[in-house]
Amino acid sequence: MSRAQSPFRPGTVALVLLVGAASFLLLLYAMAHGLDGSSERDGRAHAKAPGLDGYAGLVTLLENSGHTVSLSYSEGNLDDYGLLVLTPRFDADGEELAEIIEARRYTGPTMLVLPKWIAMPIPDSVPVEAEPGWVVLANAMTPPWFESLGIGEGAELAIGKTGGFSGLGFEGSLPDGTNAMALVETGESTIEPLVVDSEGDMLAGAFYADGDAWPLVIVFEPDLANNWGMADETRARLADALIHEASENEDLDLTFDMTLPGLAKTENLLTLAFTPPFLAATLCLILAALLVAWRAFQRFGPAYAEAPAMAQGKRQLATNGAALLARLKRWHLLGAPYAALVAQRIASRLSLREPEGEQRERAIDRALIKAGHQGESFGHWANILRGARKPADILRASRALRSIERTLTP
């Protein structure tokens, strides 16, 4: 074995490894946190939406008011303690939504903001410098799954005109008084009105299943809580009052659900790896890997290069061939080739024209007679070598042929 000079500089290799490791960790982080290139500013009505029908303004208002606000992207957080704000879409599953509300009766209060507006992105033909997530409100309609909530048989929603609203000590007007959505028939439900319009229809109310359960506050008119509604100070103060009413004036953490708007993120092992308390173990593994890499670059001298399994060259080839014959014990295979090889060398050096075989050997014997050779002829020893089977006989005949070769060639 010998030391081989590395073709790469240690600094270059370290830089490549560092960039590769950083890229891999960044990929793991992106996978764990769902950073797939999609944007939450997609025009849908949720807590991160900046459009007219979104609720980013309400989130900002509550944060600036001193509330602890978080966004939940996992269905597993729907039963956490605190006030949960639900902003479902038109295509939501009413029975699933009813199960979520029922499961939270003794966990914490819930605020349900119903959808009303059919929104679409601002067309390119409109001469407005629109930011991502801005929308145009095309039409208003009641959610088709409202009856599946089971808040009372006979409860009915409707959209119509109104002159304003009042409730919780506030009075004002809606941003669009021609498309106000209200509960016009309560049926058998026990919803207590919190905010009503000028016609006496309910714009927001509280539903109590029994005396021990947390309340369900339903905002039938979303313009009281969305970004369009937050453009007016009175409506903004009313939205904050609705939050306090739903929390029963307790200092509860506020959670805006992002799963019903279609932004759920599934937790996986990578998510857990970068989330406390597992984050500490992940950092320890990363530091251990860096330590191993540092030790690899700090070893003494370059790496050993192993010698080739088989040496190269004619001598080594002959040695390998002899070793193979010795292992197989096929000694009789050596005689004929060696006799032919010696005859060829002698004929070449004496410029003999006779072809291979007996004629060439007889020509060699004639040259021996002219040279005054007294011993056995070349053909005699060649025949003995070709018929030999024992190593001693092969060596004796091959030495005789080699002695004749030295006699006939200068």
Q: Residue 1 pLDDT > 50, yes or no?
A: no
Q: What percent of the chain has pLDDT over 70?
A: 86
Give the domain ranges of the chain.
35-264, 314-408
d(CA 364, CA 378): 7
> pLDDT tens digits for 36-92?
555 566 667 889 888 899 999 999 999 999 999 999 888 877 888 899 999 999 999
Say what the pLDDT of residue 231 is: 93
> pLDDT tens digits for 317-333?
777 777 777 777 777 77
Q: Residue 344 pLDDT > 70, yes or no?
A: yes
225 pLDDT band (50/70/90 cuts)? very high
> pLDDT tens digits for 164-191?
999 999 999 999 999 999 999 887 778 8
Mean pLDDT in residue range 89-106: 90
**In contact, 133 and 169? CB cutoff 8 Å:** no
> pLDDT tens digits for 368-395?
777 777 778 878 888 887 888 888 888 8
Q: Residue 409 pLDDT > 90, yes or no?
A: no
pTM (predicted TM-score)? 0.61
**In contact, 114 and 159? CB cutoff 8 Å:** no
Say what the pLDDT of residue 281 is: 85
Angle between helices 335-350 and 391-408 (to 10 degrees): 0
Q: List own/partner pairs for 282-290 with CB under 8 A and 24 or more apart.
A: 286/25, 289/21
Buried b (16+ CB within 10 A) or exposed e, 318-342: eeeeeeeeeeeeebeebbeebbbeb
Buried b (16+ CB within 10 A) or exposed e, 232-255: eeebbebbbbbbbbbbeeeebebb
